[in-house]
């Protein structure tokens, strides 16, 4: 019987200058090579575009399979090529070694005005290029306080995901990102149960199991309890992924959670 994977995904955002990023990637990879976590732990590093090639070189020179530690990107453009100044296509990301791509992060939705429809087109482009999309969803504080979180999440799932979606969903309540605040276990369980119920309706099938991650002020202290919640398949880590020791602590903490079989 196979073991369900647990994902630990580091999103560096627009942080870590070039040399620091390469050092960080090297420190993390070397530590995982020296003391490998269980095979069901999937580590993904998502640096800025400018560091993709260098980080990929570091990841691949160590004796770790790509399933254990992989390269991810933070966004891609919907079109495969064309006169789109400053944009990066999904195919370009795969050429640099990326296997995953984060799409629909709240900072992209807010700072760049990305709609669910745009994110869905990016999902299509990423999938066509062979990337695994990590689609972020989550409600703002006002939406939560007004009791609209369920409808917001339903709209994002319906609008952002394609039918037959094969990727990862990351639930990141916008009010928790960078705030040091995380939802209670009861609230998180309710949200995850809702997401799990909505996914088959959007995918038009019960045969695809989509991993669901939690993101928002994730630390190594919280990780075991977060991953012990039914339905949490991993964590999307922000600032704590920018220091090798704190990121490694989260990876190690993930190994403390008893593994389960995929449902």
Instruction: Examine the residue annotation and report whether 105 is marked as an active-site residue of this protein.
Output: yes
Is 105 part of a structural domain of the chain? yes
Nearest 10 degrees: Cα torsion 247, 252, 257, 263: 70
Here the CATH number for the domain that contains residue 179 is 3.20.20.70
The tokens for 73 are: 């990107």
Is 92 part of a structural domain of the chain? yes
- Whole-number average pLDDT of the chain: 93
Residue 46, classed as helix, strand or coil, is: strand
Lowest mean pLDDT among 6-15, 39-48, 203-212: 203-212
Is 259 part of a structural domain of the chain? no
pLDDT in tens, 181-214: 778 999 999 999 999 999 988 887 778 899 999 9
Is 24 part of a structural domain of the chain? no
Catalytic residue among 95, 139, 172, 187: 172
Give the Cα separation of 13 and 59 in Å (integer). Answer: 19
Is 190 part of a structural domain of the chain? yes
Nearest one of 115, 176, 99, 167 to 143, comparing CA atoms: 176
- Whether the pLDDT of residue 258 is over 60: the answer is yes
**C-alpha count within 13 angstroms, C-beta hemisphere, residue 185:** 9
Range 155-160 average pLDDT: 97
Q: What is the DSSP string of 80-129?
A: SSSS-TT--BHHHHHHTT--EEEES-HHHHHHS---HHHHHHHHHHHHHT
Catalytic residue among 105, 107, 114, 143: 105
Q: Which domain holds residue 204?
A: 11-16+73-244
Residue 241, classed as helix, strand or coil, is: helix
Instruction: Examine the residue annotation and report whether 62 is marked as an active-site residue of this protein.
Output: no
Give the Cα separation of 18 and 8 in Å (integer). Answer: 22
Q: Give the count of domains, the chain.
A: 1
Residue 39, classed as helix, strand or coil, is: coil
Is 165 part of a structural domain of the chain? yes
Is 68 part of a structural domain of the chain? no
């Amino acid at each position: 019987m196979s073991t369900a994977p647990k994902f630990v995904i580091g999103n560096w955002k627009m942080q870590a200058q070039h040399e620091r990023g390469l050092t960080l990637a090297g420190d993390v990879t070397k530590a995982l090579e020296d003391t490998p976590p269980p095979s069901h732990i999937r580590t993904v590093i998502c640096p800025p575009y400018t560091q993709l090639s260098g980080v990929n070189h570091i990841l691949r020179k160590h004796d770790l399979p790509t399933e254990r530690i992989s390269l991810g990107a933070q966004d891609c453009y919907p079109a495969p090529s064309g006169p789109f100044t400053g944009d990066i296509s999904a195919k370009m990301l795969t050429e640099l070694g990326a296997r995953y791509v984060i799409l629909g992060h709240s900072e992209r939705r807010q700072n760049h005005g990305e709609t669910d429809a745009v994110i869905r087109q990016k999902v299509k482009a990423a999938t066509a290029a062979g990337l695994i999309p990590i689609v972020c969803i989550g409600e703002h504080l006002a939406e939560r306080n007004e009791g609209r979180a369920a409808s917001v999440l339903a709209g994002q799932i319906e609008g952002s995901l394609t039918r037959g979606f094969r990727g990862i969903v990351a639930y990141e309540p916008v009010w928790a990102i960078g705030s040091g605040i995380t939802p209670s276990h009861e609230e998180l369980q309710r949200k995850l149960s809702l997401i799990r119920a909505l996914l088959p309706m959007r995918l038009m099938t019960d045969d695809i199991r989509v991993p669901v991650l939690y993101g928002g002020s994730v630390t190594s202290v919280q990780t075991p309890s977060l991953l012990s919640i039914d339905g949490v398949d991993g964590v999307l880590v922000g600032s704590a992924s920018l220091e090798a020791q704190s990121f490694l602590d989260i990876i190690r903490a993930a190994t403390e959670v008893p593994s389960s079989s995929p449902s």
